[in-house]
Chains A and B, each alone.
Chain A
Amino acid sequence: MSLENQEIITEFVLESQAHLADIEHQLRAIEAGGANLDVDLVNTVFRAVHSVKGASGFIGLTTIGALAHALENVLNLMRNHDLVPTHEIIDTLLRAADALRGLIADVGQSNDVDPAAHVAALQGIIAGHTAPAVQASLQQTVLVPTGTGESLQISAHTLAVQQQLGHRLHVVECDLISDIQDKGRTPLALVRDLLSVGELLDSRLCCEDGGDLDHNMPGAMRFAVLIATGLDDVGLVAQGCDVSVDRVRPATGLPPT
């Protein structure tokens, strides 16, 4: 691991530990409120977990990201009054939060841990304690067209989370050959720049004229990514991703907020 990566991971650990330092007390306070929900407090916990999820994606910590995502889903339903925080639900959240803090404390080994049991327990909360209409909405998919007639997709639930966070969705489309290779950049540098701008929700890579090993190199490698960001200016998104402004456009086809 490079020195730069070590510094990034150390920073991630310190920031995540700060975000989650008070989560046990916060969840118990949410439980004490019961149906008389303190929405501001749930929002605080939600944003803390969302920050951990977003940062983990930036550095490829997939297990931490998966567990934080499952926690975030439950907290989002709670803050929308689709889920009442009972003792049983809060206990499950506490066990998952404790596991998340354990993964962060041992970040180097975290990707080797299977979070399936905690993720299943969190999904079980949603299956067992929310209305059928809410569960149906979690299964809905929203298609976002790319400029080449294909689609990127996200769940309606993820879209709602991003919209409630005040994030804007953009589609960044570029050719990995002419926009990246020919400008002396690598795909990894592009991914890092994208992640510095926002959260990557879906992506597609399509090789034009791409054949097998007996063929020439593809003429183009079209990469499209759906990104959620606090930036609403296309120019700023393009600048952050280090691509020309015509490679970025606001996502279309989204239902109204």
Chain B
Amino acid sequence: MAATQTAEFVVVRPEQDLVASNLEPFHQTLQDLVKQGKVHLAIDLAKVGIIDSKGLAVFLMCHKSVSAAGGRLVVLTTDADFKHLFHVMRMDQHFTVAESL
């Protein structure tokens, strides 16, 4: 899974849908980054078409991990549906949803 470092954030770019059958590498990447002390994480959804319930759960788990370690999570998307989904689920009260860093 592609990940790049900016001045503040590590940007993770999943390259497939975030659905139950595909979640393990995504979950593992995030877990490894937190263990390495990379706790300012951005997840770029540019190549993601579908997020299922368990995919949403990983965002909440990631938010808990990074915030407990003093970091923060930003989700990057230009997709109006995704932005609306995070808003209706009130997840944008936990972490930032933005179009870019």
Please give the residue numbers on chain A whose beta carbons come within 8 Å of chain B beta carbons, in ascending order.
Answer: 1, 5, 59-62, 111, 176-177, 180-181, 186-188, 191, 194, 200, 203-205, 207, 210-215, 217-218, 221, 223, 225
Name the CB-closest residue of A to B85: A188
The answer to whether B57 and A221 have CB atoms under 8 Å apart is yes
- Given the interface pairs A5-B81, A187-B85, the reply to whether A210 lies near B52 with Cβ below 8 Å is no
Contact of B30 (CB < 8 Å), options: A111, A177, A203, A213: A213
Closest Cβ of chain B to A82, distance in Å, is 31
Contact of A210 (CB < 8 Å), options: B30, B50, B60: B60
A191–B34 alpha-carbon span in the complex (Å) = 31
Q: Does B65 contact A (CB under 8 A)?
A: yes
- Given the interface pairs A181-B20, A203-B89, A212-B64, the reply to whether A191 lies near B84 with Cβ below 8 Å is yes
- Given the interface pairs A186-B52, A207-B60, the reply to whether A60 lies near B90 with Cβ below 8 Å is no
A213–B90 alpha-carbon span in the complex (Å) = 20
The answer to whether A217 and B31 have CB atoms under 8 Å apart is no
Q: Does B51 contact A (CB under 8 A)?
A: yes
Residues of B within 8 A of A211 (CB): 61, 64
Residues of A within 8 A of B58 (CB): 213
Residues of B within 8 A of A59 (CB): 80, 84
Closest Cβ of chain B to A172, distance in Å, is 12
B contact face: mostly helix, strand, loop, or mixed: helix
The answer to whether B61 and A203 have CB atoms under 8 Å apart is no
Residues of B within 8 A of A207 (CB): 57, 60
A215–B31 alpha-carbon span in the complex (Å) = 10
Contact of A60 (CB < 8 Å), options: B27, B52, B84, B91: B84
Closest Cβ of chain B to A228, distance in Å, is 14
Top 4 nearest A-B pairs (CB, nearest first) are A60-B84, A176-B53, A212-B65, A181-B53
Q: Does B47 contact A (CB under 8 A)?
A: no
Contact of B57 (CB < 8 Å), options: A1, A186, A203, A218: A218
Name the CB-closest residue of A to B31: A213
Q: Does B10 contact A (CB under 8 A)?
A: no
What are 11 A-B pairs with beta-carbon distances under 8 A? A5-B80, A60-B87, A177-B53, A186-B51, A191-B88, A204-B90, A212-B64, A212-B65, A213-B62, A214-B65, A217-B57
The answer to whether A177 and B54 have CB atoms under 8 Å apart is yes
A contact face: mostly helix, strand, loop, or mixed: mixed
The answer to whether B85 and A181 have CB atoms under 8 Å apart is no
Name the CB-closest residue of B to A60: B84
Residues of A within 8 A of B68 (CB): 212
Name the CB-closest residue of A to B50: A186
Closest Cβ of chain B to A40, distance in Å, is 34
Name the CB-closest residue of B to A225: B88
Residues of A within 8 A of B40 (CB): none
The answer to whether A203 and B90 have CB atoms under 8 Å apart is yes
Q: Does B56 contact A (CB under 8 A)?
A: yes
Residues of A within 8 A of B87 (CB): 60, 62
User: Interface digits, B64-101 against A, CB 8 Å rule (1 contact, 0 not)?
Assistant: 11001000000000001111110111110000000000
A59–B79 alpha-carbon span in the complex (Å) = 11
- Given the interface pairs A213-B65, A218-B57, the reply to whether A191 lies near B85 with Cβ below 8 Å is yes
Residues of A within 8 A of B60 (CB): 207, 210, 218
